[in-house]
Amino acid sequence: MANVPTARLSLIVSAADVHRLNLLADFAEQGHTVIGQAINVSLHAPNGPPAPGLMQQIGALGIPFEGHAQVDGRDYLIAGDGNQTSAVKAWAATPAEMALPPLRCDGSVDLVRLRQSEWHAGFLVRVRAKMGD
């Protein structure tokens, strides 16, 4: 039997779109917090999909969102504008450490991951504008 990953999500979505999260199969809500016109929802799936499947499920919601996903202990920064989804594997445990460039084992900057992160940051600005923040 294949090992099924544990998945956790923290998504910020418009209050008008929060009902769409019920389309995420196998996820149960652990809590939510109202943030102005948005809601931060924490979801958990003890037998969740692997990361690629999770990103497909989230993208299929067709709503703007931003958030964080953890699949089998790996952290991802995620965002979507309703049409396109971005997922960047996090290389640090805190936002302050994420502000530093990603490094390879030899100490050099991992330019591919850095460019992915920079693209994600620009995409997130567009997502937030679409969400009306």
Number of H helices and E strands in the chain, helices first, is 3, 6
The tokens describing 66, both together, are: 């931003």
Residue 75 lies in a domain: yes
Residue 59 lies in a domain: yes
Cα(1)–Cα(57) distance, rounded to whole angstroms?
23
User: Domain range spanning residue 90?
Assistant: 7-131
The tokens describing 113, both together, are: 């991951």
Residue 1 lies in a domain: no
Residue 2 lies in a domain: no
pLDDT score recorded for residue 32: 93
Stated as kind and residue range, the H or E segment containing 70 is: strand 64-71
Residue 69 lies in a domain: yes
pLDDT score recorded for residue 133: 53
Q: pLDDT 10s per residue in the chain (133 long)?
A: 457 788 999 999 999 999 999 989 789 999 999 998 899 999 999 888 888 888 889 999 999 999 999 988 889 999 999 999 998 888 887 778 888 889 999 999 999 989 998 998 899 899 988 887 5
Cα(48)–Cα(91) distance, rounded to whole angstroms?
22
Cα(42)–Cα(67) distance, rounded to whole angstroms?
10
pLDDT score recorded for residue 65: 95
Cα(46)–Cα(75) distance, rounded to whole angstroms?
16
**Cα–Cα–Cα angle for 49, 19, 33, rounded to 5 degrees:** 90
Cβ atoms of 48 and 71 closer than 8 Å = yes
Which residues face 80 on adjacent strands? 65, 85
* pTM check: above 0.85: no
Residue 19 lies in a domain: yes
Number of domains in the chain: 1
pLDDT score recorded for residue 127: 92
Residue 60 lies in a domain: yes
Residue 50 lies in a domain: yes
Q: Note the pLDDT tens digit of each residue in 83-102.
A: 999 988 888 877 788 888 89
